[in-house]
Each structure stands twice: as structure tokens, then as C-alpha cells.
Amino acid sequence: MKLADLDIIVTAPPAPGWGGRYWIIPKVTTDTGITGYGECYASSVGPEAMKAVIRDVFERHMEGENPENIELMFRRVYSSGFTQRPDLTVMGAWSGLEIACWDILGKHRDRPVHALLGGRVHDRIRAYSYLYPLPHHTEPQYWIDPDMAAESALDLADKGYTAVKFDPAGPYTIRGGHSPAMLDIDRSVAFCKAIRAAVGSRVDLLFGTHGQFSTGGAIRLGQAIEPYLPLWYEEPVPPDNVEAMAAVARAVRVPVATGERLTTKAEFAPILRAGAANILQPALGRAGGIWEARKIATLAEVYNAQIAPHLYAGPVEWAANIQLCAACPNVLMAETIDTPFHMALIKHSITIEDGYIRLPDAPGLGIEIDEDLARAHPFTRTGLHLQMQEAPLSYHGENIFSGGAPPSID
């Protein structure tokens, strides 16, 4: 069995667009007719440029190869162009293609992917969700209103979720770490207070920041929210500054989580060595795929750390996350985005029940892709999957972060 053909589907989720402006889904077919799907969570170049990178990686390093040879193909890609170091765009392309190889292998052997990774450790995976507006909420007011956030949290709690994520401290910007305004600190405290009051002890609070603060600013904000006992303080400083993150971890009594923007074990290992975080959040469409993420999880296990795979993408990456989680003993939880389009794209082949993700029993990733639906929603805009604000933060008025990348904003 050899890898023979590549197609790349770029689909744009309809409004409100949770999960980003577009999802890049490589479709790989073998010479025996088995098809596998993956997803590339890479957003530093546009989708057309990314498609060219994906094709180059496939044709140069994978075409004609046995899909079982994951490690060999990874070494080719990781070493390409005399690099042997993490390259976000190339590894993003590889990640989606690698996920597709595992989908093929599972289907070939009539087994779910987790059975090929050491077998099932968990029968179900604890799910968490970002707080999104309810139908009666108004935007952009929702994103700065703690009472509306508390309503969303209570709605999820009533559905069985035991953890919710929110990030009220303002938008991420291209300008690097900054000190939060007092308005942002006060709003963050108000969100924690209102959500905790609404859900009590039923739900863990996951506080996100998108790596936007200086070391001192992150410590100041982190200490302000400590009384509400968040389960984690996500990416409090820019993700490449390991020493700064370690300083925050030492100064704030909330566990630090990070990883959605990191790729390969080479970038995760320094985090663990420095004690900068004890919750790792690999995004499998960026971190190197399923096998590399399995290695990252093993590293975390050695350091008594847990993994909580990140998801701000489509349901194929979600399916890969779930297969990984099923085989890893040190899983904390997995992010979900439960929109009608996510579920329809995989024909409802994964379900969430009482706040837990049920493991699919089907071979491979356990999902069935509705290609007609995916191709009926082409991406026709100009923005990247996610974009950072160029304007500086305000110290006089509200800094509003509208929860990701709705497709109406380019």
C-alpha cells in the first residue's frame, strides 16, 4: 500500500464562524483506494499558499511511500531544506497529512486509530467549551458583559459540561506583551466572579489570554483572578518566551497552560524543563500530527503534567484529538466546538453526552466526511484563519475581543 493521490478541501464555516474563517482538509488516497482525511491548523499564510506547501510536502516527502512509515516521513519533512528545527508552516502541512495517514491505517486494519497507539485508556473524554453567545445575546456587548458570560456558562453546565473557557482581558495584538489596563483587570475579575456565582463548584473556569501580556502584567492579572480558583491560566505571555512563562508560573497560584501555537516536541520540551506550564495544549493540526503529539504527551507524563488538546478549527482535527486522548493516561480534557456545521460535516459521527465526548467505534479517525457540504462552502474572502489586531490597546475605553474570527470580519 502506497500513498498515491492528494486533494485539498478548503471549507469556510458559515456565520457566526466559530472555529476560524476556513478549515484546510487534506484528502489522501492510496493506490489500493483507501482514503484518509486530515486537517492543517496553520494560519501564517493564506489558504492558497498553504495548499501549495501541502502539495510540496506530499509530493516531495510522502508520495509513493507506505503510510505506515510515519516516523520516516516525519524525519524527511523535519529535515527538509537543511532545517531539523520546528517550521510552523511546513509542520502545519505535515500535521494534516500525517493525520490522514493514521486515518488510512485505521481503515486498512479495520481499527480505530487509538488501538494503534497503545490501545484505549479512556472510554470517554471530558469536554470543555469556549463561552459563545446564546441566541438572545447581542454583540459586541456580549464580549464585555460578565452577566451574559455567566448565562452562557450556566447553559453549558446544564448540558453537563464541567469546564468552560473565556478570555475577557482584551484582544491579542501584533505588538507583543503589554501590561493590561485596570479596566481589563477589573473586567476579568468581574467575569470570574459572575461565572463562579452562576455555576458554583460544578464547573472549572479556564482563563485565556492568547499570550498577550508582559511578564509583570501577566502576574498582576493572574494574581487578581486567583480567588476564583481557575483551573488554568492559558498562555499568559507570548508563547516563545519560556523563561517569562516560568516566572509567571512561579508567581501566580493558578496552573499555567500553553501549547496551541507550539509545534513538535522540540518546542514543548523546554516548557516542561523550565516548569513554565503543567498543562500542555497541542493542536494536532500544527504540533506535528498524532504521533508527534503522542510523544509530547509522554514527555508531559514524565514531568507529571497533563495534556488538554486545543481546538480552534474544524471537526477533523477534533477527531484526531479524541483518538490521541483515548490512548493517553495523562489527559485532562479536550476542547470542543459544538456547532451545527461542525457536526454536519462529520455526519454527527462524534457525540457529546453530559459533558463527555464518546469515543467513536468506526475505523480510522471514526468519522465520515460530508464532502459535498464542505465543497458547498468555499472560502472566498481574504483574511487568514485567525488574525491579530494591529492597533494598540486602549487605556481609556473598552478593549473588546470578539471570540475568534467570524467570517464577516476580514
pLDDT tens, residue by residue, 58-97: 999 999 999 999 999 999 999 999 999 999 999 999 999 9
Mean pLDDT value of segment 278-307: 98
Instruction: State the residue for C-alpha cell 491560566.
Output: 233
The answer to whether 38 touches 112, Cβ cutoff 8 Å, is no
What pLDDT is stored for residue 170 in this prediction?
87
Mean pLDDT value of segment 154-173: 95
Q: How many whole angstroms separate alpha carbon 257 and alpha carbon 287?
A: 15
Mean pLDDT value of segment 190-195: 98
User: For residue 409, is pLDDT > 90?
Assistant: no
What pLDDT is stored for residue 388 in this prediction?
85
What pLDDT is stored for residue 317 in this prediction?
98
Q: How many whole angstroms separate alpha carbon 273 and alpha carbon 259?
A: 14
Q: Measure Cα distances from 338 to 66, 156, 294, 348 in Å.
A: 35, 11, 25, 10
User: For residue 276, is pLDDT > 50?
Assistant: yes
What pLDDT is stored for residue 404 in this prediction?
63
DSSP per position, 182-251: HHHHHHHHHHHHHHHHHHTTSSEEEEE-TT-B-HHHHHHHHHHHGGG--SEEE--S-TT-HHHHHHHHHH
Task: For the chain, give the mean pLDDT.
Answer: 95
The answer to whether 268 touches 91, Cβ cutoff 8 Å, is no
pLDDT tens digits for range 91-103: 999 999 999 999 9
Going through 60-174 in order, the beta strands assigned E by DSSP cover 124-130, 163-166
List the beta bridge partners of residue 27. 7, 37
Q: How many whole angstroms separate alpha carbon 231 and alpha carbon 40?
A: 28
CATH 3.30.365.10: does it fit domain 115-364?
no
User: For residue 21, is pLDDT > 70?
Assistant: yes
Rg (C-alpha) for the chain, rounded Å, is: 20
Nearest to 321 by CA among 346, 341, 354: 346
Q: How confident is the model at residue 408 (pLDDT cuts 50, 70, 90)?
A: low
Mean pLDDT value of segment 30-43: 95
pLDDT tens digits for range 316-335: 999 999 999 999 999 999 99
What pLDDT is stored for residue 225 in this prediction?
98
CA angle 401, 309, 277 (to 5 degrees): 80
Q: How many whole angstroms separate alpha carbon 95 and alpha carbon 73?
A: 11
Q: Measure Cα distances from 42 to 53, 69, 199, 227, 348 in Å.
A: 11, 23, 35, 36, 25
Nearest to 171 by CA among 386, 396, 371, 380: 386
Mean pLDDT value of segment 214-220: 98
Q: Would you call 138 exposed, middle or buried from its count of C-beta atoms within 10 A (0-12, 13-18, 19+)? A: exposed
The answer to whether 163 touches 126, Cβ cutoff 8 Å, is yes
What pLDDT is stored for residue 16 in this prediction?
85
pTM of the model: 0.96
- Cβ neighbours for 186, distance < 8 A, ≥ 6 positions apart: none
Give domain limits for the chain: 115-364
Question: Which comes out higher in pLDDT, residue 357 or 176?
Answer: 357
Residue 87: CB atoms within 10 Å: 18
Q: How many whole angstroms separate alpha carbon 249 and alpha carbon 257?
A: 9
Q: How many whole angstroms separate alpha carbon 104 and alpha carbon 180?
A: 47
Mean pLDDT value of segment 386-395: 85
Backbone φ and ψ for 112, nearest 5 degrees, come out as -65, 155
Burial 1-19 (b: 16+ CB within 10 A, else e): eebeebebbbbbbeebbbb
The answer to whether 50 touches 21, Cβ cutoff 8 Å, is no
User: For residue 393, is pLDDT > 90?
Assistant: no
Q: How confident is the model at residue 407 (pLDDT cuts 50, 70, 90)?
A: very low
Q: How confident is the model at residue 376 (pLDDT cuts 50, 70, 90)?
A: very high
pLDDT tens digits for range 327-374: 999 999 999 999 999 999 999 999 999 999 999 999 999 999 999 999
Query: Hey, what amino acid is at 166?
Result: F
Q: How confident is the model at residue 406 (pLDDT cuts 50, 70, 90)?
A: low
